[in-house]
Structure 1
Amino acid sequence: MKRIALGIAYNGHAWQGWQTQPHGQTVQDCLELALSRFAAQPIGTVCAGRTDTGVHALNQVIHLDTPIERAQESWVRGTNAHLPPSVAVQWAREVDTAFHARFSAASRTYTYVILNARVRHPLWDGRVGWVHQMLDVAAMREAANALLGEHDFSSFRSSQCQAKSPVRLMHKVDVASHGQKIIVRLTANAFLHHMVRNIMGALVQVGQGREDEGYIARLLLARDRTLGAPTFSAHGLYLTEVDYPGYEFPRVSTEGFSLDSINFEDKL
């Protein structure tokens, strides 16, 4: 048996999340169907991060086991021939059997894009979170610093989360303004169910002046989800990077779709 790693990009707006469901309207169901058609045999997959309904990915990483022989480029082009426009394999690499898309990952990076504008923009429907009140980015950045380090993230955890422990290690947090966009990047060893969206809900509360800059720190200490902010929209959330020590995978090209350089006026 060979183990193959694939990099997958998808627009999650039309999908009911990553993980397979009986209705079949998930990215995993769609991808496994395409892989099975290409390989002419059933193919199962394991992913780096199970994204929620409406969440996008620039670089989801999966692995599969198969006895068949195919060139790396064939896995890309052959599978893509059976996929809809919203999902595409970006690269393929044969890896050793010690590699595991989920357990070999040292960290994952999620990026959230907020359109901070007086009115919503229909061309960005499903691709950004929209806030019409002007947000205080400096206050959001100061509040977000409390997330760094190892914490119990119970206050940012969905009631449906099945993780055995709420403790996670946050490596990096960045909050930056790019014209009408606010870009929030979070890198951690792993994330809980709805963790990023619940963090975003709290940061927006700070940006709107409804909470002060110590709000995030207080929520972490409280370890109580009922005290947190509402879960923010999935639309602006992207899985942008997964780090695997000892493995060198291609970086997905975002030429023409850099989250930092998106200019809304250019898209009119």
Structure 2
Amino acid sequence: MQRYFIELSYNGTAYHGWQIQPNASTVQECLDKALSVYFRQPISSLGCGRTDSGVHATQFYAHFDLQTAIDPLKSVTGINSLLPYQIAVKRVFEVDNEAHARFGATERAYHYHLHFHKDPFKLDRSWLYKGDLDMEAMNEAAKLLLTYTDFSCFSKSNTQTFTNNCNVMEAFFVKEDEGLKFTIRADRFLRNMVRAIVGTLIRVGKKELSLAQFKEIVESKNRCNAGQSVPACGLYLVNVIYPFVK
């Protein structure tokens, strides 16, 4: 038995997230069907995380095991021919049999995009925000995230995680194409964490929260105190780092 990593990207608009669900179309379901047909054996992949419904990924990894040797370059073309246009395989490569797509990742990064003017080419790919925002204030608040480890206030309740601790390494907004782009990088993320963080930072940008109040929300460890989650359409998983992958 040989383990392989597969790197892919996808537009998540039409899918109910990555992970297989009953009575819902997911990216993992489409990928596993394509892999099973192409390699002519039942295959169940395991992803580096689980993106929510409508969330996109410019870089996503999964692993799967095969009983036979393959040509990785030829496999990319073959698998892509069986996938819908919204899902694209970038590469397939052999890894050690102990390598794990989820637990082997040491860093992940997300982008969140929002724009201020109606644009048909940003539909389902960015959030149309109507109003003014103080980016400087939002960045001051975002810097505070690097000083905390417990992010319970930004996590969905009743999740199956053993800890809500994360090491946030970067968090900042930049102006981009008549809008803003938020970047956040950490060793791990909680369910709904990025969208809840952005929603709370938006409240800072609207002058509804001061920096002191933002700190109180983080320290409260209570999801009810944080802002609403922003729409999924603007969220992208953009980078996943493994010590054994170049």
TM-score exceeds 0.5? yes
Identical pairs, percent: 35
Other-structure match for 2:220: 222
TM-superposed deviation, 1:108: 0.6
Deviation string 1:134-193 (CA, Å, 9 cap, x unpaired) is: 211111100101111442111101124221111111111121112412111111111110
Q: Which has the higher helix share?
A: 2
- Alignment pair present for 1:204 and 2:170: no
Aligned length: 246
1:238 to 225, 232, 236: 236
What's the counterpart of residue 59 of structure 1?
59
Aligned to 1:78: 78
Which residue in 1 is equivalent to 2:47?
47
- Aligned partner of 1:189 among 187, 207, 215: 187
- For residue 136 of structure 2, the aligned residue among 111, 135, 138 is 138
CA–CA separation in structure 1 for the residues paired with 2:116 and 2:210: 19
* Counterpart contact for 1:111–1:238, Cα < 8 Å: yes
Alignment deviations for residues 205-224 of structure 1 (CA, whole Å, 9 cap, x no partner):
11112112334322111111
Amino acid at match of 1:58: T
C-alpha separation in 1, matches of 2:146 and 2:20: 32
Distance 1:130 1:3 in 2: 42
Report the equivalent of 2:111. 111
| Equivalent pair of 1:38/1:78 in contact (CA under 8 Å) | yes
What residue is the counterpart of 2:154 in the other structure? 156
Q: Which residue of 2 aligns with 1:258?
A: none
Question: Counterparts of 1:99 and 1:150 in 2: how far apart (Å)?
Answer: 30
State how far apart, in whole Å, the 1-side matches of 2:198 and 2:159 are.
Answer: 17
Asked if the contact 1:201/1:230 (under 8 Å) is kept, the reply is yes
Q: What is the RMSD computed on CA atoms of the aligned residues?
A: 1.2
Letter in 1 for 2:93: R
TM-score, normalised relative to structure 1 = 0.89
Most deviating of 235-244 and 147-156: 147-156
Any unmatched runs of 5+ in structure 1?
249-268
TM-score after normalising by structure 2: 0.96
How far apart are the structure 2 equivalents of 1:215 and 1:146?
Answer: 12
Give secondary structure in 1 for the equivalent of 2:59.
Answer: strand
Which amino acid is the alignment partner of residue 222 of structure 1?
Answer: S
